[in-house]
Amino acid sequence: MDRCISDTSTWMEGMKLTLNQSKTEFILIGIPQQLAKCSNMAINIGGNEIYALSCVRNLGAYFDKYMTMEQHIKSKCKAAYAQLYNIGKVRKYLDHQSAKKLIHALVHSHINYCNVLLIGVPKYIIQKLQMVQNTATRVLCRIGKYDHITSTLTSLSGSLWNLALNTIYVY
């Protein structure tokens, strides 16, 4: 491991890049039995000992040590709900098309980000993203919290509303 880190550091220096030791993280991924064998593992980078984390972020996607993607979905849902809250505050001033574009730009960008990583994730985790989409539909179409949503989702499915979501989500 030390040789690999040294080689990476040498390559980066050759490319006029610097390894930021304070932001360097690593994670061990595996099943609980495998991870129990490697507890408290640390690597040495530039005199600093870095310990394995339970969750790391790479290019905006969160990976946990069991690859459940729960932290990723949690963070994306949180960001999407924050945007929906803001859109809901100004929704009465927007026409349908403007609200639809705004939701596509600010909400669907969060729930679609890195969704290819979610293939094979259990339905109960994916259901959280479906709930965000249902809330977005309610904000767009001004539907009450307890009103039925299925028919509205079906009517919107012909548009770009479900473009990237159809491959993973189940209605």
Q: Give domain status of residue 78, yes or no.
A: yes
Tens digits of per-residue pLDDT, 134-151? 899 999 989 888 888 777
Q: Is residue 168 part of a domain?
A: no
Same domain (yes/no): 79, 48: no
Q: Which of 36-40, 106-110, 163-167 has the lowest mean pLDDT?
A: 163-167
pLDDT at 11 over 80: yes
**Judgement on whether residues 78 and 38 belong to the same structural domain of the protein:** no
Q: How many domains does the chain have?
A: 2
The 3-state secondary structure of the chain reads CHHHHHHHHHHHHHCCCCCCHHHCCCECCCCHHHHHHCCCCEEEECCEEEECECEEEECCEEEECCCCCHHHHHHHHHHHHHHHHHHHHHHHHCCHHHHHHHHHHHHHHHHCCCHHHHCCCCHHHHHHHHHHHHHHHHHHHCCCCCCCCHHHHHHHCCCHHHCCCCCCCCC
Instruction: Return all residues near 164 (Cβ < 8 A) that are at least 6 apart.
Output: 108, 112, 115
115 with 144, same domain: the answer is yes
Do residues 29 and 81 both lie within one domain?
no
pLDDT confidence of residue 92:
94
Q: Is residue 171 part of a domain?
A: no
For residue range 86-104, what is the model confidence (pLDDT) as tens digits? 999 999 999 999 999 999 8
Which pLDDT belongs to residue 157?
A: 67
Contact 113, 61 (CB under 8 A): yes
Place of tokens 């640390």: 42
pTM of the model: 0.76
* 169 is a domain residue: no
Structural domain contains residue 90: yes
Q: How far apart are CA 103 and CA 91, in angstroms?
A: 10
Q: Give the range of the structural domain holding residue 119, as residue numbers without chain letter.
A: 69-162
Residue 131 has pLDDT above 80, yes or no: yes
